[in-house]
Structure 1
Amino acid sequence: MYKKLEHLDCYREGTRQSIVRDYDLQLLIYARLLNEKTKHSDAHDKLTNKYYEFLCVNKENKNIQKIITCGSGAGEHLIKLADLKRPQLFNPLMSEGDCGGGNGTNTSNRMWDPLAKELYNAIRWLICCWDTIPYGKLLDIKKGLEDYYYNECKIRRIKY
């Protein structure tokens, strides 16, 4: 379920422009850090409040995948450069109605299948609390839940 990916330095604007030129970016999560937790930003900072996490897939070789963890400045710049949807913050400690999609989708206004929503939130909890980067089948399930949130959740997704 966990894959160790190399991080991409995203410190300067020119570096972020190169990243978007060379990689397809997928926003994995935009989340609030739990109390007392910190993360290292690939833009050379210590994150203590909120963070973005992006999966970067090389445009020429899809087998080359890297990760970016960053704060609001670099994260918002990458979203703009890659023309991604503006995310809503996922706060793992807020009630379901108070937390947004955290990955470019607004999940709070959708009529989710209840089991699909529960599985989706469980995946986001893994990302936040276990510091997990979803890949492979787990990433496919997460993406499928975002796209088909209204469908009844299949048992094979839950078992995985």
Structure 2
Amino acid sequence: MRFRVRVPAATRVTVTVAAVTLALGGCSQTPGERLEEWYGSGGEAQIRKLNEDAGRVNEVSMRTIDVQGPACWDLLAQTAKAEKLDPIPDEGAQRYWKEALGGFRRGAAECADGAAKNEEGQVSRGIRAVQTEGLPKLVSTVTLIKAGLAAAK
């Protein structure tokens, strides 16, 4: 048996607006929860990989170009992946993150280009940029993220 119920248009609009409001606003997350979600859904892994690759560039800084070039290429590729992540939901951490990625991108690109040309001076400048522009900003990023995660608990 079927029953047909007529609902006035004004009531349908009110119910629809209420449902949309609940869907959008009813599940709001705290800043700490958003940060935890970003960190747990790829942020931590990207940070760890960037740190490894930048650390490798730092480690090979006194070696030959044939060793330095591949390390710089790896960092450049990892930086491109990290740049595709959603922004960090913490304004300060996001600012340092962008600066770290910019330093890694500039430094690794200069180093890789110099290695391809066999230009030691250019390779050294690129490595120095990774060391002075990228790594310190990554440390600041991690410090702010850890503080935000600790505050969320």
Please state which structure has a larger fraction of its residues in helix: 2
Flag whether TM exceeds 0.5 (same fold).
no
Q: Which has the higher contact order (CA 8 A, sep 6+)?
A: 2
Please state which structure has a larger fraction of its residues in strand: 1
- Structure with the greater alpha carbon radius of gyration: 2
